[in-house]
A and B are shown apart, each in its own frame.
Chain A
Amino acid sequence: MSKNTRIILICSGKGGVGKTTLTANLGIALARQGFRTAVLDADFGLRNLDLLLGLENRIVYTAQEVLEESCRLDQALVKHKQEPNLALLPAGNPRMLEWLKPEDMQRIVSMLIDDFDYVLIDCPAGVEDGFRNAVAASKEAIVVTNPEISAVRDADRVIGLLNTHSVEPIQLVLNRVRPKMIASQEMLSVNDVTDILALPLLGLVLEDEQVIVSTNRGEPLTLSSSKSPAARCYTNIAKRMQGEEIPIIDPSKEGSSIGDKFKRLMQTKIF
């Protein structure tokens, strides 16, 4: 059973592109599908996963006490009330960064695999120690990026590093997509980004104000049956992770008004 546990790193290189939001939403969505899911906050410097899941007041122990063997793993895991299939392993004190080694992360993950189908690791930004520790414990990766030049460049860097760590498969999630801007060619299109990064696209997430609303409440969008654009995107990504074939719709190719059709025509590639 433990061999089948999928251990997935959620990383990006650049900060603030939506790793933690994706981890929280996928964690809830997978749990709702019946999978026993653990989300591991590997961002020890700036932990936030607890907040996005609304679990910040229920933390007693963290990964730190587990590693120091001053508590058991099940004492540190925080179960989600509405979705008991989901558990958070909180990040410890930022001072952990001084001594944390790749082997420590591997040890934590190896303790989780017996009881979970999925382990999602919320990676810190950057490509330094925090990233390296998290990669060492991961089998697969999801690279999150935005259709912006700096985010794509950093994603490319991270993909190069993941390749040297034999993490596989590596899939792409393109977050904060704005169809209108893509249609008027003021934003890199979905194809532009997948062409440049040459990674299979697991899904895209639309720019959506509801993401902020749900963060305020500590209730990920996938928790309710929200029909907001981003909620549907996250749910579809979770389904694709099981191999369900849900087509990815290029948002800039939708719309049937004459204006939309004209913009589509203008996107035709000539060379």
Chain B
Amino acid sequence: MTMTLRDILNKLLGRQPSSASTARERLQLVLAHDRSDLSPELMEQMRREILEVVAKYVEIDIEAGAVSLETEDRMTALVANLPIRRPLAINSKIEEVSS
């Protein structure tokens, strides 16, 4: 996310961000979705499924995990931010899953 000196000043003074910077942010978000052709419902479904898979291996908070699309230079990336509650003894978990 780009921030200009004015944005920082606005933030410090508790003022609204400039409308150009709001437009920039909103555009980046909406374009990431337009370009991937994924509806919010599909995104939510994908988020849940990804989290379910990850939860097999590590203990995570299903509600806190965020999966989002980010875009730069017409390249869209799927970015997952999944805070791990407790680093599990992963090896034992794998055995459990494969057995």
B6 touches A267 (CB 8 A): yes
Query: Measured between alpha carbons, how far is A188 from B20 in the docked complex, in Å?
Result: 5
B24 touches A269 (CB 8 A): no
A149 is an interface residue with CB less than 8 A from chain B: yes
Residues on the A chain within 8 Å of B35, using CB: 156, 160
Query: Measured between alpha carbons, how far is A192 from B5 in the docked complex, in Å?
Result: 15
Closest CB in chain A relative to B10 CB, distance in Å = 9
Interface-lining segment among B26-34, B49-57, B78-86? B26-34
Closest CB in chain B relative to A268 CB, distance in Å = 5
Query: Given A185-B20, A192-B20: A149 and B3 within 8 A (CB)?
Result: no
B31 touches A196 (CB 8 A): yes
- B: number of interface residues (CB 8 Å): 24
Query: Measured between alpha carbons, how far is A152 from B30 in the docked complex, in Å?
Result: 11
- A: number of interface residues (CB 8 Å): 27
Residues on the A chain within 8 Å of B3, using CB: 269-271
Q: What mask results when residues 3 to 27 of chain B are scored 1 for a CB within 8 Å of chain A, else 0? A: 1111111000000001111011011
Taking a contact as CB atoms closer than 8 A, the residue among B4, B26, B30, B31 that contacts A185 in the complex is B4
Closest to A148 in B: B23
Query: Measured between alpha carbons, how far is A149 from B31 in the docked complex, in Å?
Result: 11
Residues on the A chain within 8 Å of B30, using CB: 153
B2 touches A153 (CB 8 A): no
Query: Given A265-B5, A270-B3, A271-B3: A186 and B27 within 8 A (CB)?
Result: no
Q: Which of A147-163 contact B (CB under 8 A)?
A: 148-149, 152-153, 156-157, 159-160
Query: Measured between alpha carbons, how far is A267 from B6 in the docked complex, in Å?
Result: 7
Residues on the B chain within 8 Å of A186, using CB: 18-20
User: Could you tell me which B residues sit within 8 Å of A by CB distance?
Assistant: 1-9, 18-21, 23-24, 26-28, 30-31, 34-35, 73-74
* 10 tightest A-B CB contacts, nearest first: A185-B18, A266-B6, A185-B20, A198-B74, A268-B5, A271-B3, A198-B73, A149-B23, A266-B5, A270-B3
Give 14 A-B pairs besides A156-B35, A182-B20 with Cβ atoms closer than 8 angstroms: A149-B26, A153-B31, A156-B34, A157-B34, A160-B35, A192-B24, A196-B27, A198-B73, A266-B4, A266-B6, A267-B4, A268-B4, A268-B5, A270-B3
